Structure 1
Amino acid sequence: MGVSEEKNETCGTVCLKYILFTFNFLFWLAGGVVMAVGVWTLVEKSDYISLLPSKTYAVSAYILVLAGAIVMVTGVLGCCATFKEKRRLLRMYFVLLLCIFLLEILAGILAYVYYQQLNEELKQNLRQTMIQKYKQKSYEHITSAVDKLQQEFKCCGSNSSSDWGESIWIRSSDAEGRVVPDSCCKTPTEFCGRRQHPSNIYKVEGGCMSKLEKFILEHLKIIGAVGVGIACVQIIGMVFTCCLYRSLKAEPY
């Protein structure tokens, strides 16, 4: 190999190192964003997850949290592998990139699949959950989620306030004369649910199903976009890793 070829190889390797280092730094930041989106999805509206019959929504968010954490660790490993020029570290880094890539594609696919079936699931289950489990023993988390849902989205019942007429709790003596839960009221106070006039409760505003569906669909779009978007960026990182790996001399055993 001539001197000029050696210089070109060295120059090319150095360029690849700095490009890959820059990528890893941005990748590390992206990992924090991915993990933050997953945590935000689980924590910000975690109560609503209990109202969904399928666990797909929660699983896709957990996958993002896991992928984000691995991304941040991988970013550090990538920087070490790049500057130490260790082929073994680069191999490990590439495998981790591939695993994260598959995880994030999976999160994106799950979000897309659930996006397609969400409307039907809510139609079939939200109303039954409200009328059968609200204020029932061992379903305190459902009660809390329904109250929060009705207050935050300014709605009452699944499709309308009349849904509460079939509620196990409303029909029992425990309701103490209420026709809707107090959380349906525009200004919640004890026993305000005894009067269902539109000036008192969210009657004309409609039910909660369409509002919850819209909220979850927006989150699913974010989960899907983040998962697939970061996964596509990783392809660039894997290409640069392969190039750097090939430019380095084999390590002696």
Structure 2
Amino acid sequence: MGGFEEKKETCGTICLKYLLFSFNFLFWLAGGVVMAVGVWALVEKSDYISLLSSKTYAASAYILVLAGAIVMVTGVLGCCATFKEQRRLLRVYFVLLLCIFLLEILAGVLAYIYYQQLNDELKQNLKKTMTENYNKTNHEHITRAVDKLQQEFKCCGSNSSADWAESTYIRSGAKGRKVPDSCCKTITNLCGERDHPSNIYKVEGGCITKLENFILDHLKIIGAVGIGVACVQVTVTFSQLMLSCCYRSVDDP
């Protein structure tokens, strides 16, 4: 009878171990998703970040990358702790997961706050950035970002193509151009000399509306992933904690 109970306990412990291993594998996958979204948010149209005066968008993405990387490493730690049955190591693991949870929540909250402020920031700064820094020495990244923005979103100027008349670039001569060549529907050298709607993009709302919608879509994803995955991780962590208490560690008396 005693041998049967011992065998039953051993089988239960093995099942719990594999359940915990499965949870840790899910954590590892979740970390990969979080890190991938953070990298995507930074790499996808990364030039546009230079057009934003606030660093909140980039900070949210970097936090996700950091949190995702830590989750993946912690997932491996959790697997080791489970199979070695080291409860002390599991406690360290849970503390790390708490820190990761806070990082992900922070990324989500920052994304939400910036979501509310983005429109005002773009209205105040985008036109100034484009008209004062375009084609200036030491601001080549701004020039690249503006050209890419106007070509990819098929727009011209912050609010309209008329904004370029106030720019340092056009006022300095610009070889007779009225707008940068990147405003043209078909780019050729000096095509910006002619600002007729048949030649350049004259979109209502200019580039500011297009850029705002683009950044807002990214912020929604950053916020949803940060907070959503964090909530899932809390549920899984609680399940892991309950399971880890069901078997005795080999180093316990």
In the superposition, the TM-score normalised over structure 2's length comes to: 0.93
Distance 1:28 1:161, change over 3 A: same
Provide the rounded CA distance (Å) in 1 between the counterparts of 2:3 and 2:242.
21
Whole-angstrom CA distance in 2 between matches of 1:21 and 1:236? 15
Instruction: State the shift of 1:12 in Å.
Output: 5.2
Q: 1:233 offset after TM fit, Å?
A: 1.1
Paired amino acid for 1:148: K
Letter in 1 for 2:99: C
**What is the alpha-carbon distance in structure 2 between the residues aligned to residue 13 and residue 105 of structure 1?**
34
Instruction: Assess, with a 3 A threshold, how the Cα gap between structure 1 residues 204 and 231 changes in structure 2: closer, same or farther.
Output: closer
* Helix, strand or coil at the partner of 2:206: coil
Amino acid at match of 1:162: A
Corresponding residue for residue 216 of structure 2: 217
Partners of 2:68 and 2:43 in 1: how far apart? 16
Once residues 178 and 184 of structure 2 are traced to their aligned partners in structure 1, the CA distance between those partners, rounded to angstroms, is 11
- Identify the residue that residue 79 of structure 2 maps to in structure 1: 79
- Equivalent position of 1:161 in the other structure: 161
Structure 1 counterpart SS, 2:176:
coil
One-letter amino acid of the counterpart of residue 219, structure 1: H
Show the counterpart of 1:194.
193
Q: Distance in 1 between matches of 2:248 and 2:205?
A: 68
% identical aligned pairs: 76
Q: Is the 8 A contact 2:156 2:203 kept in 1?
A: no
Q: Aligned equivalents of 2:12 and 2:121: distance in 1? A: 55
3-state secondary structure, aligned to 1:129: helix
Q: Within 5 A, what are the aligned runs for 1:118-129?
A: 118-129=118-129
Give the aligned partner of residue 27 of structure 2.
27
* In structure 1, C-alpha distance between the alignment counterparts of 2:234 and 2:200, rounded to whole Å: 53
12-21 vs 140-149, which moves further:
12-21
| In structure 2, distance between residues paired with 1:4 and 1:94 | 34
Matches within 5 A, 1:60-139: 60-139=60-139
1:179 aligns with 2:178: yes
Q: For structure 1, list consecutive stretches of 5 or more residues without a partner in the other structure.
A: none
The alpha carbon displacement at 1:7 in A equals 7.1
Measured after TM superposition, the shift of residue 241 of structure 1 is 2.9
Q: CA deviation at 1:249?
A: 3.1
TM-score normalised over the length of structure 1: 0.93
Counterpart in the other structure of 1:150? 150
Equivalent pairs, count = 251
Deviation at 1:217, TM superposition (A): 0.4
Q: CA deviation at 1:10?
A: 5.3
Q: Distance in 2 between matches of 1:3 and 1:114?
A: 63
CA distance in 2, matches of 1:196, 1:169: 15
Report how far residue 204 of structure 1 moved.
Answer: 3.9
CA offset at residue 245 of structure 1? 3.5
Q: Secondary structure at the match of 1:247?
A: coil
Between the aligned partners of 2:203 and 2:44, the Cα distance in structure 1 is 27
Q: Is the 8 A contact 2:130 2:158 kept in 1?
A: yes
1:122 and 1:162 map into 2 onto residues whose CA distance is 17
Partner deviation per Cα, 1:37-67 (whole Å, 9 max, x = no partner): 1111111211000000100000000001101
Secondary structure in structure 2 of the residue aligned to 1:71: helix
Q: Retained in 1: the 8 A contact 2:50–2:145?
A: yes
Q: Which amino acid aligns with 2:172?
A: S
| Kept in 2: contact 1:20–1:237 (CA 8 A) | no
2:51 match: secondary structure: coil
Give 3-state SS (helix, strand or coil) of 1:189's partner. coil
Gaps of 5+ in 2: none
Cα deviations across residues 131-157 of structure 1 (Å, max 9, x unaligned)? 111111211110110000000000000
Contact 1:122/1:213 (8 A) holds in 2: yes
Query: Secondary structure of 1:50's partner?
Result: helix
CA contact (8 A) 2:23 2:240 kept: no
